[in-house]
Chains A and B, each alone.
Chain A
Amino acid sequence: MEAVEYFEVECDEPAGREYYRKIADIVLLDHNLLRVIAKLHIFIDPKIPLFVATGVTRKLPGVVRLRDFADVNKKESSVTISIGDETYLAPLLRLLWEKFGKDRVNQPDRFTVLLTLDQGEQEGLEDLPVFDPSETIYKDLIYVLQVIQPEGFKVRRQYYGKGRFYLVASEDTLPDDTEELVRRKFALMGEEL
């Protein structure tokens, strides 16, 4: 948890607090999200019961474009794409099929994609945005918080955007002052919602 600037678990029961500290640490590590989080404050009150997680993300990595992971070799009426990093191959193919149609996209082997494109269509192909990590990262974050929270808290309110995220969960109806509570937890980290 060294990578995270601020990490606190707040709970009346000291034993429970230590366990949840460890659980949060391990779950975030397992899902590869420690790098993404700058600050995280978890508040658990087993008496109500209520689970609140508030946090701030680091600057997220930018949009991945075609030239970031592949070489684009243009010829008169065809383009050869040599894939360097397979991670983004699936979203790339889906994009190309959608844009040019399956009959013009040929993949003779794992690392090569051949396109039949005229000059006009070849324009700006390298800058094609393939994958936006920020779209999935918040979803992953909320999923991970649901794994961390005690099980059975089915009533949830969640928010993400502008570098902030929070999740409030309980098994009962959420109290009216949820928003206020979340603001207070953000204030503890020296942040504002």
Chain B
Amino acid sequence: MTHVPVTYKGGIYRHDEIIDLIEDLGGYIIQKHVIAQEVVLQALVPREDIELIRKIGKPLTGEITPSPLVGTEIAVVSPSLEIHHLPHASCDVAEYIRRFGAKTNMVGLARGFGKRIAQLNDEERDVINEHDLAVYLLGDFETCIEHKFPVLRRGIEVPIVLCGGPSTDALRKIIDPPVDGYVGGVGRFMHRTKESEEIEKLEEVVAEITRILDRRREELAKDPLSISPARLMDIIAENVDEIHDVLSPTPLTVQMQGLRVKLPYDTFAPVIRRVEVDEGVTIGDLATVAPSRMRDYILVRIRPFSETSVVL
């Protein structure tokens, strides 16, 4: 059964039926938003059942659309959180990616601005490395990007999409060694993106991210994870009651290779390690449960089949 990431949008009336349906079909609800009278569900559903959900959702004015980025956590890296980059460049991009189902976190570097003086500290590096992909939003000058980017990428192991003011070709030329994706024409700007050509640029960013993550998924499929992150999310939600008291919008954030659990590490890491996934198999057997550099959270990284010899 292959799962496809989708977004379901519909009225709040009888939406629990859709949730039950998705769960009964063996799908997973990654995130649920209730906005006034509307419900937005981000879910992974079996490919062959999409039509069924569409049919049942139709009388409830529900719409189901593919969202390629559901189940990924993406870092949007900005040189700082000053007025020079906020709200427009950084928030517009972060928000647009979010519409395709990704969970985006904005990483504002403490000293990422300037040309010679740009720096990346170890905490920032580790936080970015906890994501599935990093989108770097740099400025408008080739000279500056060429000079500062090697510093900002030092130690980053996740795929990088580089956005900047110069054209895509110009960016490709100045970056050595190459990064995974480039989008030119998205540099520093001070106005809201609402014109069609600006939206097209944002589409380009999403297309680039989708392309890279699809390739990453293919690579992962060669040595599959011992358990799917979405299923692990359900198991933790069932077995660790305290997760329901967490007020974050996504107490359990699904990533491509694991989960971020928003509970204090010291208290809950042993609890999570002991949770039984299947008879005699615990989470500790399938995944590494490590402290996250983001607050006091827990980062669960699922080990591949080649390490555990188990696929659930």
Contacts and interface: CB of A to CB of B under 8 A. Distances in A.
Nearest to B166: A15
Contacts of A150: 84, 113-114, 139-141, 144, 188
Among A16, A20, A30, A172, the most chain B Cβ lie within 10 Å of the Cβ of A16
Contact of A23 (B114, B143, B167, B189): B189
B90 to A, nearest CB: 12
Interface in A145-193: 147, 150-153, 171-172
Interface residues of B toward A: which range? 20 to 34
6 contacts: A19-B165, A19-B189, A46-B143, A46-B144, A147-B190, A151-B84
Interface of B: 79-80, 82-85, 113-118, 139-144, 165-167, 170, 187-191
Interface residues of A, number: 21
A22 interface: yes
A22 B143 CA distance: 20
A19 B89 CA distance: 13
A15 B165 contact: yes
Nearest to B191: A26
Interface of A: 13, 15-16, 19-20, 22-23, 26-27, 30, 44, 46-47, 49, 147, 150-153, 171-172
A34 B82 CA distance: 23
Among A27, A147, A151, the most chain B Cβ lie within 10 Å of the Cβ of A151
B141 A16 contact: yes
B115 A46 contact: yes
A171 to B, nearest CB: 5
A22 B189 contact: yes
Contacts of B141: 13, 16, 44, 46, 150
